[in-house]
Structures are given as structure tokens and as C-alpha cells.
Amino acid sequence: MKKKFLSLFLAGAMLMTAGLAGCAKKQDSKKIGVAMPTKDLQRWNQDGDNMKKKLEAAGFTVDLQYAGNDIPTQQNQIESMINGGCKVLVIASIEGDSLGTVLATAKEKNIPVIAYDRLIMNTDAVAYYATFDNYKVGAIQGQYIIDTLKLDSTSGPYNMEIFTGDPGDNNARFFYNGAMDLLKPYIASGKIVVKSNQIEFETVATASWATENAQSRMDAIISGNYADGTKLDAVLCSNDSTALGVANALEAGYTGDYPIITGQDCDIANVKNMLNGKQSMSVFKDTRTLADQVVEMVKAIMDGKEAPTNDTTTYNNGVKVVPSFLCTPVFADADNYKTILVDSGYYTEAQLA
């Protein structure tokens, strides 16, 4: 009797263990790795939070990691995701050329990679790219300057300075080109004057998109070109962290009226600056929309289908043209921010007070 009971007990234990293993296996089969560059910028916190919430709501388990803008850390985090059983990787890279080796391992293990908002360069391991129309982001900023200065109906000249993003971020060139394709004819005609003569991408790029780097460069530009009271009419800034650095420098060392300052991401500090007249606009890329689209892409991949895309020609990473889904950006300013940012539920009035 004891032997029979022991046999039944062991059999039950084995079934329970097998059941638990089956549950673990089932759970692991829905594990998604999400690699974000840093928590130092508001937008990446929002992107990471949105991705995690929406993927979990869709039934996936999520390994979300932030790399502190340190490339080796991000490489190690992605390697850990690969070894930890993630079935799809969603990666916002710190530097587009830095992930080729670790993603080669992902490809060997048949783990699809979705590049998130920053194209990963020079690797065939990237299956898809999800982003906003980055050229259009720049075009919106450039057109805003054209319209606000009335460049087509006034004689000028107007003084402008230029700040774009990290030279290793492929998006920075799209932002720059989108704006400058519209603005360069006015520079060529002399209606816009860049007094610092800093115009080309390599000269106006801002390492790590860092506010302090933009502020330091703007301090030098003010000292060398505008300290004598010369009016500054516009500053093309590709995003809000650079715009914040420019605004800080102007507050410390510029005596004239605030120029037009563009931005991108609608960070809280920058929206407050807009409401206080220290920034003119910011391109709004609703990270909820982008997260929704990435979830649909992940679902399709996990179902063995092609992910939805709407652009198969624009984004060449140096090895392949990466099928992409481009969401549509809009801009917010002091006139429409309530509709765009508050009524949509992105922020509360209290957050912007």
C-alpha cells in the first residue's frame, strides 16, 4: 500500500512539474525584449512605459531595459534578452552602428528585430522599423519658421542659428534635411543669415542630444555674434532637449526678445517654455500611437505573418532597405496645446501648470 501511495504521489508530482514547466514554456514563448537608450530624457521614459503597458495588455511578457546612454550596457542588455528567451526584440538604439555583432546572434537564433524610432544601421538583422515620418518632422519645423517670419512676403534679412541631434542617430539627418531642404534657398538668397556660419550637419550636430552641449554651443554663438545687441530671429532646434539648452543660454546671455525656437517631443519643461514665450513650437510624436503600431507588428510576427508597413523604399540602413511603418507627426504651440496635449489625455493641465 505504501509503495502504491508513493508511486501515485511521484506520478502526481511529475505531472505537476510538467504542468508548471508547460506554463513556463508557454509564458516564455510570449516574452518580448524592449531596449530603450536612457531614462535621462522624458520621452524615452514615456516610450518605455507605453510599450510595456500595451504589450502586457496584449498578453505578452516584457523585459524592458534602459541603458543610461551607454553603448556597452545596451549591448549587454540585448545579449541578455537573447539568452533570456525573448522571441522579438524592440530596440531604440543609442548609436545606430553599435549593435551589429549582438544582433548577428539574434539573427542566428531567428529572433526578429524591430528598430524603434531610431534606425539600426549596417546590419541585415533588422526585420522592421517603426517610427514617425522623420523627414516630415524637420519639414514641419522649417515650414513653421518660414510661415512665422513670413519669408515669402517680407524682405528680411533674418538671423537664424541651427541645432540638430546626435551625429550617430540616423534620425538626426532626416530632421535636419527635412528642415534645411526648405530653408536653404532662403539662406542662399540672403533672406536668412546664419551669423555663426555654422550650417552643415556635422557642425550643428549635438552629441547625445544633450541639453548641456546645446547650451554650451549656444553660449559661444551668443558671445561671438549677438552680444552687441544684434537681433536673433530664429533658432532651428531638432528636438526639445536641444531647444531647452538654447533657451537656457538665451536667458543667461541674450538681451533681446526671444527668437522663434522649434523643438520636438513636447516634453513638459518645453511645453511650459512655450506657454511662457520661451519656445515657439514642438513637433508632437504621440508615443501612444507608435506603441500601438509596434504592438500590432509584434502580434503579426508572433502569428507568423508579415508585420504591417507603409514604406518600403525610404530607410536604407547601409545593408538593406528596412520595411517601415511611419506614423504622422503634428506640432503643438501655445495656441493649440490644449487640444493636442491635454484634451487627448497625454498630459493634465496640472502637469503643465
Domains of the chain with CATH codes: 8-132+286-327 (3.40.50.2300), 134-285 (3.40.50.2300)
> Which cell numbers hold the place of 349?
493641465
| Pair type for strands 330-333 and 281-284 | antiparallel
pLDDT of residue 96: 86
pLDDT of residue 336: 97
What would the pLDDT profile of 160-189 be if each residue is shown by its tens digit? 999 999 998 989 999 999 999 999 999 999
pLDDT of residue 18: 43
pLDDT of residue 29: 77
pLDDT along the chain (353 residues), means of 10: 44 44 52 95 90 95 96 97 97 92 96 96 97 96 98 96 94 96 98 98 96 98 96 98 98 94 96 97 94 96 97 96 96 96 95 93
pLDDT of residue 8: 43
pLDDT of residue 236: 98
pLDDT of residue 258: 93
pLDDT of residue 217: 98
pLDDT of residue 41: 85
